[in-house]
Amino acid sequence: MGGKKIIIAVLIVAAVLAIVPFSLPRFYVYLMALIVTTGLLAMSLNFALGFGGIYQLHHAVFYGVGAYGAALAITKLGVNPWLAFIIGPLVSAALSVVMGIICIRLSKLYFGMLQISLGSLVWAVVYRWYTFTGGDDGIHGIPVPGLIGSPTGSYYFAMIVAALSVYCMYRILESPFGSTLQGIRDNAVRSQAIGVNVRRHQLAAMVIAGFFAGVAGVMFVVVDTSVFPDMMFWTLSMEITIMALLGGWFTLLGPMLGAAIIVALRTFVSAFTDYWTFALGVVCMLVILFLPEGILGYVLEVSKKRASE
């Protein structure tokens, strides 16, 4: 019975999202696509942080590298855009392997600080390499296939790719690998004592998270047809970490909810004041004080309690 309710809920949400381009102005269609893109980025971070216990403190670098990988393949190398959309996430995954091998020997905060240093180095190269990356100007007017070149087409592209990515992450987390990863998060010492290769599983989780961050970067290229160095700056990494914590970092879809809240706050509150981050700070403070497990985490916990009564 519970499975049928979930299926019905998914179908209703899919139907509502399908009619958005025909019922809302163009700006809101773009905003919805941006929320889904940012939400997928936050979910990819949560794959490593929330489910793997890995202190991925500069996750935005994989997002930016994925976007730049696709954009440069199209604009500089003349690669077919559909092929470039595959290259972007693969480049992000490759960077995850390299950074993971360097950082995986450390743990917790030391891991995160080293990752911030390496990610900042990548950002500096992109920021200064004017002849190839466009430097601080970025790359604008990136040509995308006509099928997804319109606001409606890019919206549906973002929705379909995000849905497939979420399903893939769900299947991975429900697999033996996902269960082992969560066991490592809860007690790495005990996991290693029973024969689990902790570092290998954590490295694999980093690569998976980096790959889906690259997918989110490709989605941004399609939605915005531009890339810029700020996409891989460390402040964005902190922002998406807040999204994961706000929505619920032990839940799959919580970061998507957190992304929707923060993107909406930034869009609408900043229209009235430059101090929109003050509103964000108040919201985060209230969540930390009263909902430490995140908004969706709290909702799921209450639902479980009611079901058990």
**pLDDT at residue 163, rounded to an integer:** 94
As to burial, measured by CB atoms within 10 angstroms (0-12 exposed, 13-18 middle, 19+ buried), residue 70 is: buried
pLDDT of residue 6: 64
Q: Could you list the residue range(s) of the whole structural domain that residue 287 is in?
A: 2-308
In the chain, how many domains are there?
Answer: 1
Taking the chain (309 residues) in runs of 10, the rounded mean pLDDT of each run is 63 84 91 95 95 93 97 95 97 96 87 93 94 93 93 94 95 95 92 92 96 97 95 92 90 92 87 77 82 86 76
Q: Which residues contact 133 (CB under 8 A, 6 or more apart)?
A: 68, 72, 125, 126, 127, 139, 229
Residue 203 is part of a domain; what is its CATH number? 1.10.3470
Alpha-carbon distance of 261 to 243, in angstroms, equals 8
Per the listing, tokens 């929330």 go with 50
